[in-house]
Structure 1
Amino acid sequence: MPEMRAVVVKGGKGPADAMSIKQIPKPEPSLGQALVKIKAFGLNRMDLLQREGLYPLPPQAPETMGVEFSGAVEAIGADVGSAFKVGDAVFGLAYGGAYAEYIVVDTGMLIHKPAELSWEQAAGVPETWITASQALNVIGEFKKGQSVLWHAGASSVSICGIQLARAEGAKAIYATAGSKEKCDFLVNELGVTAAINYKTQDWAAELQRVTNGAGVDLIVDFVGANYFQGNLDIAARDGRIVVLGLMSGSKLPNDVDIGPLLFKRLRVEGSTLRSRELEYQRRLRDSVVEHVVPGLKDGTFKVFVEKVFPFSEIVEAHTLLETNRTRGKLVCVI
């Protein structure tokens, strides 16, 4: 059986230095799938959780980490009318398996790579832009003229979401971040209305001030428990709160006041992407092709890649991601 190099975790889970590159069986495409020779893959926070054994994998996911990649189509499984052919430059989203030389993925999750994007940039697009679009448009039901708050503002998803919200006519865009450098980046490079350093300011009180008490229409949160009360407090009437992560945990303090849920008619909804059925993910992929790819081609949208690592330095890449000091994407090239 043909083999390929892939990142494996000794014992199935562990710290960053438990990872190494080994030979594993090379996958083969079946009906409706393509085999892609990977040029680059993006790193995501879920990869850290998966490595540590803390991320429940969907049943169709391989053990190998990695959900986004760029590369060239090497083979197509039986598929009448596929929009892809051998040799096509593509990028895409997968249930897993991108930390490897080859990946098999449903052709409905592939996107033709624009010539304007490098392999490294393209590898950083799928997970983040699809997640941001899902949070803003599908779950948040954003409408032109509303205000939006992106927590973890310098994270890859928020960087994409801020750009999308601007392009789609937000009246104000706010963000929280953990350093002056990140706040300056958000204001000066991404054009947010206000960026609040949560380490030096009471972000909820500051947002009450800058919105003159009106609050924010749509809040996208990755933090969870520690931000739950603040989100309720600064949400505008009929506001929506989209929860995409639980970086501070899932157990709420005993004194949380849920009164604003009722009195402001708020909607709080959590969402994941990786566990969604293929048909749902395909619809999101189609939305990115329609709304995001043109902006990537003409330069309206920027892909912020913070650092590129060779495949052999996957341990160093994970170690950097764990620091929470990055803004934009970390990418590995093969």
Structure 2
Amino acid sequence: MRDTSPDPALSATLLEWYDRHARDLPWRVAPAARRAGVMPDPYRVWLSEVMLQQTTVAAVRDYFHRFTRRWPRVEALAAAEDADVMGEWAGLGYYARARNLLKCARAVTADHGGVFPDDHDRLLALPGIGPYTAAAISAIAFDRPEVVMDGNVERVMARLFDIHTPLPDAKPALKARAAQLTPRTRPGDYAQAVMDLGATICSPKSPACGICPWRDPCQARSAGTAPELPKKQPKKTKPTRRGIAYIAERADGALLLERRPDSGLLGGMLGWPGTPWAETPTEDAPPFAADWQELEAEVRHTFTHFHLILRVRAARLPDGPVPPRLHLIERTAFRPSDLPTVMRKAYDLWRGGAA
């Protein structure tokens, strides 16, 4: 890596590129509109940034449209029922984000009169907002010269300056380089420009160096090392856990579900009663005595830190009181889309076997 200081013209070059090639995103104010004085809605910026954590733009679009149609302002989201928000979030993953989304909306409404703070430190004090999200909101919504570092920006910086230190150890050096390039003029557009560059041109595999606005100054392109950057530490092998899900249907079609505890994996989400998920063999523990029949196929799902193999057992739910801590949901009120992905996989497997 050559020890050279960034050329201030780099930021201007990237902004010129962004003015022509900015992605059309539902939460974004286009460069032309921004120059005309249209400012982004901090609520929409915050909502999009929370949704985009560990998730792709393609996966988020429909969720963002549904949320903003149903809850167009932060006050409306703050007043929403927890179960409704968790249901709309189902399938997007990382469900702690949805719980923090509600906490943050309620804090902004109760403590800030429904107005998001306009600086990094006060944003950082809100529930569920970490350093990256605070920087992104500060820059994009309020045009503050904050350094916004996501995976796209890390990749661009690693290649632009040919930094070979593996992630996560390289993060301080990459952020320092990004800080040197962050302009005081149009910092919000610049933050989005770097992310767009990483998402559309400086992609993880086969970067399109020939059409990159930073092609000439890119040190990794000159050295022929761009495709191998950024370097990462070897991934640890994920363990495999196993469990059993129990699906019970009453004669009239009502289904027996549980609301998972607020803390922990899939916290606050609807799901099927089941055993703990463990690496050791799981003992059968149905929610009530019945003639439980096991489906031939299994559910396989991968979480961030482990793989899951879930056996599915089904039974007829008799009339009478519902077992403690469980909920009977009438078929007309049941929406499979309210289930997290792994629970919906179990439902689909059961429905396929029952068809």
TM bin, normalised by shorter chain, reads: under 0.3
More helix by share: 2
> TM-score, normalising length from structure 1?
0.22
User: Which one has the largest radius of gyration?
Assistant: 2
> TM-score, normalising length from structure 2?
0.21
